[in-house]
Amino acid sequence: MSARLFRALAGSHCILSKDLMHCTAFATADEYHLGTLSQDLASYGYVEVTSLPRDAANILVMGVEHSAKEGDPGTVFFFREGAAVFWNVKDKTMKHVMQVLEKHEIQPYEIALVHWENEELNYVKTEGQSKLHRGEIRLNSELDIDDAILEKFAFSNALCLSVKLAIWEASLDKFVESIQSIPEALKAGKKVKLSHEEVMQKMGELFALRHRINLSSDFLITPDFYWDRENLEQLYDKTCQFLSITRRVKVMNEKLQHCMELTDLMRNHLTEKRALRLEWMIVILITIEVMFELGRVFFLMK
């Protein structure tokens, strides 16, 4: 949350006006069923925007009937990765869309966490080329609807990454909290109160989180969609820089590496204890066998 506070202060100098609108992003689940979501929203009167290029896959764009302010149509971007970005949408409408969305989520997140780890940027329609200027989105008012949707998509894509990363940052912080007593316990020579199965489960959680961040997401590379769209790529990259995506991913990977080393140490510790226990069992069994053999020999001697 401190990074968000810093960004808010950085953009606090912007002059407020009646033309200022809001763009808000939430990550609510691991994934969405976009097909059924589109049908469900359409039954409530929302209209799907179909002007996106074919290579803008895994995205659903819906328009709302009444926007929060005049001057720009209310629009919602739904990313299959489990994030929604609202542009100039009334709070009442936003709440309704989020309620409808719940029925189409795969592995939903905690509601409190969803609302705590959101992102909000102000935006305004102005003359000149679209850009992100000191924490405020400035959209070219002369663009046609299709081009405006594409530019909003670029901004929304970066916001989607930020809120997804915020959810995973919270998950990692929770994980770190669950194991923070282990190093001190090992240092003091105390018994680690975790079974081998629990340690392996925690290692699985870390590998899954690492896979999501580094392999199954766009945190480390620019999506192919932007390779031949230089102006959109600049908007996307500038927004990612402003939201500190690269730095946050680096910090998360460093934390993950430390956690992996700790859980690996715990696994080796428990494996050694299990091996030692097995050795003692073998020694005891051999001792019992020797005692029986000595007893048999003694009995025969009588």
**pLDDT, tens digit, 9 for 90 and up, residues 218-257:** 666 788 888 889 999 999 999 999 999 999 999 998 988 8
pLDDT at 121 over 90: yes
Choose among 235, 280, 253, 91: nearest CA to 169.
253
- Concatenate the DSSP letters of all residues of 121-155 into one string: EEEEEESSS-EEETTEEEEETTS-HHHHHHHHHHH
Query: How far is Cα 228 from Cα 232, in angstroms, rounded to an integer?
Result: 9
Choose among 165, 155, 163: nearest CA to 237.
155
- Domain locations in the chain? 2-161, 165-301
**pLDDT, tens digit, 9 for 90 and up, residues 11-69:** 444 444 567 999 999 999 999 999 999 999 999 999 999 878 888 878 999 999 899 99
Choose among 103, 122, 117, 123: nearest CA to 160.
117
In the numeric block, which tokens belong to residue 13? 């100098």
Ordered alpha helix ranges (H), the chain: 2-10, 34-43, 91-101, 111-116, 145-179, 182-187, 196-214, 230-242, 245-301
pLDDT at 122 over 90: yes
Judge whether 116 and 9 are in contact, CB under 8 Å: no
- Concatenate the DSSP letters of all residues of 97-119 into one string: HHHHHGGGEEEEPPHHHHHHT-E
Architecture of the domain defined by 2-161: 2-Layer Sandwich (3.30)
Choose among 223, 221, 220: nearest CA to 250.
220
Query: How far is Cα 62 from Cα 57, in angstroms, rounded to an integer?
Result: 15
pLDDT at 113 over 90: yes
Query: How far is Cα 25 from Cα 43, in angstroms, rounded to an integer?
Result: 23
Query: How far is Cα 2 from Cα 73, in angstroms, rounded to an integer?
Result: 32
**pLDDT, tens digit, 9 for 90 and up, residues 166-205:** 999 999 998 888 887 777 776 777 766 666 677 777 777 8
Query: How far is Cα 155 from Cα 161, in angstroms, rounded to an integer?
Result: 10
Query: How far is Cα 153 from Cα 223, in angstroms, rounded to an integer?
Result: 13
Task: Categorize the per-residue pLDDT at 302 as very low, low, confident or very high, splitting at 50, 70 and 90.
Answer: low
Vertex 69 angle, CA 150 and 140, to 5°: 35
Amino acid type, 120:
E
Q: Which residue has the tokens 């299990």?
A: 274
Query: How far is Cα 93 from Cα 70, in angstroms, rounded to an integer?
Result: 15
Query: How far is Cα 62 from Cα 50, in angstroms, rounded to an integer?
Result: 9
Give this prediction's pTM.
Answer: 0.80
